[in-house]
Copies of this chain bind each other. A is one copy, B any other.
Amino acid sequence: MNKLLIVGTVAFDAIETPFGKTDKILGGAGTYIGLSAAFFNLQSAIVSVVGDDFPQEYLDLLTERNIDISGLEVVNGGKTFFWSGRYHNDLNSRDTLDTQLNVLADFQPKVPEDYKNADVVMLGNLHPLVQSSVLDQLESKPKLVVLDTMNFWMDCALPELLDVIKRVDVITINDEEARQLSGEYSLVKAAAKIHAMGPEFVVIKKGEHGALLFHGNQVFFAPALPLEEVFDPTGAGDTFAGGFAGFIAQSENVSFENMKNAIIYGSNLASFCVEKFGTERMVSLDKQEVVSRLKQFKSLTQFDIEL
């Protein structure tokens, strides 16, 4: 089985949407990526950090899914990273109400020995120096390195971000962030400029409007599944990235054609994530539901014009 190495936050979230609010619940990019990638046939490990306030049941939830947490440091006397946010009525935008870095402030990632030869590396949204540090610890070149990031790092750590972007094969980024990073409004032009920064593949996430995959002059588009109700968008982008990286790790194929499938798997898993608060839906999801919804993606997008 191929190995997927994941770095990303493991955190507490408190979320408000028009449909309700939660207390502190399980969250974090690393968590969503791990839960999503667990739907594929692979070995995975999460490199992250939590405080000793982090409940055993959340750790169990990861290990029950065969996620190696030997690289998940538990800081004695430390508090787990906490984020709180409120979504606007359209669910397309949100305000951050509170961010407490806590143990994340001094996080030094440690890649488990077993994963220094990982086949695929998924660098979840974190400080670019943490992302670079993970790459520095690898002992062999992975088949694929995927990086997710956000506008916050463009604002406050751009040189470090550009350094790590140079080192990855795939970047996943949302549309507004792609525009900010490239200075181009057109997403086609933005992708071309981001290519030139290093990544051979550029994935632009457009939330409810789907995702674009750019590779040279080639482009592929995966829609988001039209849903009756989006309940909570938290973690959808990370779930997408986890599905993408997980499918690539399982299939051992980094061609553009196979990445199309990976984008569909990512969109498919993200479509479940938004149906309930936090990780709730991903935890209850089974493989049969995933396959059944993939059929919906096919009928949603496939047509038979003969040319």
Interface residues of A (CB under 8 A from B): 89-90, 185-189, 206, 209-210, 212, 218-221, 223, 226-230, 257, 260-261, 264-265, 291, 294-295, 298-305, 307
Instruction: Decide yes or no: A261 and B188 within 8 Å by CB, A209-B209, A219-B300, A299-B220 being known contacts.
Output: no
- Of chain B, the residue at the smallest CB distance from A206 is B209
Q: Could you list 12 further interchain pairs (A-B, Cβ under 8 angstroms) beyond the known A189-B228, A212-B226, A260-B303?
A: A89-B185, A209-B209, A210-B210, A220-B301, A223-B223, A257-B304, A264-B303, A264-B305, A291-B307, A298-B305, A301-B302, A302-B302
Number of copies of chain A assembled together? 2
Can you identify 6 A-B contacts, CB atoms within 8 angstroms? A186-B228, A186-B230, A210-B223, A212-B226, A260-B303, A298-B305
From DSSP, what is the main secondary structure of chain A's interface residues? mixed
Q: Which of chain B's residues has its CB closest to A228's CB? A: B188
Q: Is the CB of B188 within 8 A of A221?
A: no
Q: Which residues of B contact A227 (CB under 8 A)?
A: 186, 188
A213 (CB) vs chain B CBs: closest residue: B300
Interface centre among A261, A303, A305 (most CB of B within 10 A): A303
Q: How far is the CB of A96 from chain B (nearest CB, A)?
A: 23
